[in-house]
Structure 1
Amino acid sequence: MSDYQKIVVGTDGSKSSLLAVERAAKIAAAFDATLIIGCAYYENKDEASQTLRQDSVTILGDDTAQKNLAAGEEAARKAGATKVEQAVRPGTPVEALMAIVNESNADLLVVGNRGINSLTGRLLGSVPADVARQSDCDVMIVHTVS
């Protein structure tokens, strides 16, 4: 296994996602890696309602996403990360995270476990399970909710 150079972590502004950001930041600090905090957003209510999932927070508009990223960066820096970048993409959380991972050639993707054990998550999929299946890099699912 080689050292991680680029780590992507997703946030939706929730307490659960900020726990994943903190864990990713600690790993980034240990490896002196770049931490890229990503956030997805829906451009309008119709798009959000068509793709709404129980395990994801609906973020309408780029402004809310930018606020979530700022909170994520603050948490990451408090946890010890020094090389922090932000990335925001329209679309579902899975689409956005996979785009960020692929564009940045990330070595590790960190996500929280929210939704993975729910009935809906088991039947329809969840963000953590879907990115784990689609990702070409290592995926770490952080236990952020019971």
Structure 2
Amino acid sequence: MSEHYSKIVVGTDGSKSSLLAVERAARIAAAFDATLIIGCAYYESKEDASKTLRQDSVTILGDDPARENLDKGAEAARAAGATKVETEVRSGTPVEALMAIVNDHQADLLVVGNRGINSLTGRLLGSVPADVARQSDCDVMIVHTVS
């Protein structure tokens, strides 16, 4: 395990708080000259989306809106100083999508916003930041994007 990050993954759902996480991750990527991989999850259908009890992330149907979010995220990342920026869309829940992206790229840092972590639903059902922190094999940074 090196103390140098070379591949950093951050998730976005297009929301203001997730873009703050992207900007923080981009600044870390710039400092380490690391590759930043911005991921966005989407649901294939309304049925898939309705199966999730989560309300802590924006529900994105289909990969077109997901790609739009990634374009916005990549723009914010470059503005924050990241030079090596990649984007990935994945179907599934935000947690499934982020874990798949982390594992596929063998990332060494995952950055997520803290939205949902302190809500009642988040405490009962879990939240994206808490769940990825439990499941991830790499370092996880939870950015304070929602007070």
What's the TM-score once normalised by structure 2's chain length? 0.98
* SS in structure 2 at match of 1:51: coil
Q: State the distance in 2 between where 1:52 and 1:25 align.
A: 30
| 1:8 counterpart residue number | 9
Q: State the distance in 1 between where 2:48 and 2:57 align.
A: 14
What are the residue-to-residue correspondences of 1:94-113 with 2, within 5 Å? 94-113=95-114
Unaligned runs of 5+ in 2: none
Matched, 1:82 2:75: no
Quote the offset at 1:52 in angstroms.
Answer: 4.0
| 1:59 counterpart residue number | 60
Unaligned runs of 5+ in 1: none
Q: State the distance in 2 between where 1:77 and 1:58 align.
A: 25
| 1:121 counterpart residue number | 122
* SS in structure 1 at match of 2:51: helix
Question: 1:54-99: CA deviations, max 9, x gaps?
Answer: 1011000000000000000000000000000001100000000000
Q: 1:132 to 1:81 in 2, by over 3 A?
A: same
1:37 alignment partner AA: I
* SS in structure 1 at match of 2:122: helix
Quote the offset at 1:51 in angstroms.
Answer: 1.1
Kept after mapping to 2: 8 A contact 1:52/1:58 = no
- Structure 1 residue ranges, 4+ long, deviating more than 6 angstroms after superposition: none
What's the TM-score once normalised by structure 1's chain length? 0.99
Quote the offset at 1:140 in angstroms.
Answer: 0.1
Q: State the distance in 1 between where 2:25 and 2:83 align.
A: 12
* SS in structure 1 at match of 2:140: strand
User: Alignment identity in percent?
Assistant: 85
Number of residue pairs matched by the alignment: 146
